[in-house]
Amino acid sequence: MHQDGDKMRDQKGTEDIEMRVTKARFEKVWTELGLEGAAAPWFDRLMTAYGQVGRAYHNARHLNECLAGFDAARHLVKDAPAVEFALWFHDAVYDSRATDNEERSADLALECLREAGSRDDTRGAKIHDLVMLTKTHQAEPDTDGAVMVDLDLVILGQLWPRFEEYDRAIRREYDWVPAELYAQKRSDVLRKFLQRNFIYRTRLFREKYEAQARSNLVRKLELSKIEGGASVESGVGRQSRGGSCG
């Protein structure tokens, strides 16, 4: 799945896009950060993590979608290598039963940086903070953090078929949660997103995804009512740690 030249369905679910999750790309950002030693072992470690059984959504496809979105938004960020490195690690640790996935993912990024000889503590702290933003999806508008958050939430603004596919995948990750409780928790998350003045924190993402995201969330809430609580939606478990959807 990580070979150069591979293709994958894009975020809209209508076109093929190049696979961004490649060893060559990881080695490039490794070099841009001035890291030492071989990048390959850490790339393999990340691919093993993203390929774990049970990751129906938080897998290499999600990472690829984030990197594809980043390529279109790179001009918005001040420290592109830091943002990209944070994206590679943002779901490196994922357990739907846990409440500290973001903390452990952020710590793993720091472990990698230190092992690779990074002496830029300021940049390391920034990468750690960027990963942690995916726990709350709150960031100051039009900052590197805002781009990071928006990339993780891009899935909410995809056309309905892709959104619905994502929705089903998240439900599979939480198949241990009773349907009624799951639907209740997810409805709470949906309403909180809809109550925000803006779901997306950058103008680029608002213009591209805001309307579709709100349409998807409203539609899902309505379907949840019709289905009587059997909705397959994301967010349960993560709501207790900030309502993350990514």
- How would you write the pLDDT of the chain (246 residues) with one tens digit per residue? 334 334 434 434 434 558 999 999 999 999 999 999 999 999 999 999 999 999 999 999 999 999 999 999 999 999 999 999 999 999 999 999 999 999 999 999 999 999 999 999 999 999 999 999 999 999 999 999 999 999 999 999 999 999 999 989 999 999 999 999 999 998 888 899 999 999 999 999 999 999 999 999 999 999 988 776 443 334 443 433 333 333
**pTM of the entire structure?**
0.86
Handedness of CA 134, 138, 144, 148 (dihedral sign): positive
Residue 115 sits in the same domain as residue 186: no
Domain presence at residue 1: no
Going by their DSSP bridges, the two strands 7-9 and 16-18 should be labelled as: antiparallel
Domain presence at residue 50: yes
User: How large is the C-alpha radius of gyration of the chain?
Assistant: 17
Rounded Cα–Cα distance for residues 74 and 110 (Å): 22
Note the maximum CA span of the chain. Answer: 55
Residue 150 sits in the same domain as residue 160: no
Domain limits at 91? 7-154
Residue 146 sits in the same domain as residue 183: no
Number of domains within the chain: 2
Retrieve residue 215's tokens: 């349409």
- Of 104, 132, 154, the domain-final residue: 154
Retrieve residue 229's tokens: 């609580």
Residue 104 sits in the same domain as residue 160: no
Domain presence at residue 82: yes
- Of 91, 124, 154, the domain-final residue: 154
Q: 59: alpha, beta or left, given left = phi > 0 and alpha = psi -120 to 50?
A: beta
Residue 148 sits in the same domain as residue 161: no
State phi, psi for 141 to the nearest 5 degrees: -60, 145
Residue 148 sits in the same domain as residue 178: no
Rounded Cα–Cα distance for residues 231 and 225 (Å): 8
Residue 146 sits in the same domain as residue 168: no
- Element containing residue 81 per DSSP (H, E): helix 80-89
Residue 206 sits in the same domain as residue 146: no
